[in-house]
Chains A and B, each alone.
Chain A
Amino acid sequence: MSTSKLRFFFQESWLLMVSAVIFGALLAATDAAWTPRIRQNEASKFGNRASSLLAGAVKFEPAAEKIAITLKGKPYEVDIRKGLDAAGNCVGWAFLCEASGFADKIKLVVAADAKFETLKGFAILACNETPGFGDKITIKNGFYQAQFQGAPAGKLTLVKIGDAKKIDNEIVAITGATVTSRAVVDALNAYIVPIKQQLKEKGLLQ
């Protein structure tokens, strides 16, 4: 590139480059200042939700190994956490789970018992489903959430008509929110079975 072309380039673009550096520095400083707090918020939110599901758990520590699962044909690593009571005994497992809902992604914390045989239920981290319909999945201990508390940690089936009070692998959908109800069940099925299998293979289950 000749000197005149180089000079022209800098004459035309110096403001953009200088501004990019200034705004970049501003964002870097903001990121450095607030990211620890954002991470802490995320961790405490996970801890709060998981503690509400696993009675007696006072802290959550990451499992020895991450669990690799396949979601829609893509490899994905699940950061599964072991819930420990005050004496350090394992009282259950909790992990983050994402479902593709009707309006947006639904983020859930799912918990299972120490042997990974029964589910302790799920709690919502993020949900933007339709008010009055899909957002009924967020009602703590509501008819939909309650069906997962004590359900077998295996393949779940969604049904439109059934007895919601009977705790088994059949989950009765919310009327008018079948897409959201199915999204949660499908996501749990995609996570629970491979997680349980790998925890067994790795000898992490009691």
Chain B
Amino acid sequence: MSENQTTVGKAIAGGLWTEIPVLRLMLGLCPTLAVTTGVKSALTMGLCVIFVLVCSNLAVSLMRNLLKPHLRIIMFTLAIAAFVTIADMYLRAFQPEMSEKLGAYIPLIIVNCIIICRAEACAAKNGLLVSAVDGAAMGVGFTIVLCFLASIREVLATGKIFGYPVMPDSFIPLAAMAMPVGAFVSLGLLLGAVNQLTGKKASTL
């Protein structure tokens, strides 16, 4: 097996922990900050990313032996854009309210670094099974982080989760948690906790 190739087990472990996109690779931070005001939006964004990741990884893996180096990026973008458009149209047709709530962030999946990174790092070098599993694992890892952050922000900002009250009546909602500052603070704390857990330290000059 070439050193560029990976296994199903490594792909799953990578997507769910060792290379979890938001917390370890620091990829996909824009949607992480933008759509985590509620768990429903975070879950929808996560599912769309899973769909796009799996489909684009499969498409790239299928054409991997035909790819010419100078056409590589344009081919990845073509595949990703097609699947993002399908996801966007699906939401507009079947989940119109969620589609409006997520606004431009669904079409912006096209420029989400996770997708093109997985096409380049995994799908362009591996078979269909590994590429599909890698896409699904990365997508699930991304979705878990999004939902975790969204649940913290939604509870603190509104006292509810999925629209159901979970805090006592005396709870005073923190409006700031629904704003960008809440996204930065909660993501920063989560990254700090993960670094603490994994023993990662800042490099010294």
Contacts and interface: CB of A to CB of B under 8 A. Distances in A.
B157 A34 contact: no
Contact of B100 (A13, A19, A20, A126): A126
Nearest to B157: A131
Given A16-B75, A19-B63, A131-B179, A30 B96 contact: no
A13 B71 contact: yes
A87 interface: no
B165 interface: no
Contacts, number: 63
Summarize A's interface: helix, strand, loop or mixed.
helix
For the complex of A and B, the 3 pairs showing the least CB-CB separation, nearest first, are: A132-B175, A23-B82, A131-B178
Summarize B's interface: helix, strand, loop or mixed.
helix
Nearest to B103: A128
B78 A16 contact: yes
B71 A45 contact: no
B96 A131 contact: no
A21 B190 CA distance: 44
Interface string A144-181: 00000000000000000000000000000000000000
A15 B175 contact: no
Contact of A27 (B75, B85, B175): B85
A128 to B, nearest CB: 6
Interface stretch (B46-54, B86-94, B133-141): B86-94
Interface size class of B (residues with CB under 8 A): 20 to 34
A38 B93 contact: yes
A41 interface: yes
A117 interface: no
Interface string A104-145: 100000000000000000000110101110000000000000
A15 B100 contact: no
Given A15-B66, A15-B75, A45-B96, A38 B89 contact: yes
Contact of B79 (A19, A42, A126, A132): A19
B179 A130 contact: yes
Contacts of A5: none
Interface string B155-178: 001000000000000000001001
B68 interface: yes
B55 to A, nearest CB: 10
A189 B111 CA distance: 38
A26 B85 CA distance: 10
B67 interface: yes
Given A26-B86, A130-B179, A15 B92 contact: no
A23 B79 contact: yes
Interface string A7-23: 00000110110011001
A26 B100 CA distance: 24
Given A34-B92, A128-B101, A132-B179, 16 more contacts: A12-B68, A12-B71, A15-B63, A15-B75, A16-B75, A19-B75, A19-B79, A20-B78, A23-B79, A23-B82, A26-B86, A31-B89, A41-B92, A42-B96, A126-B100, A132-B178
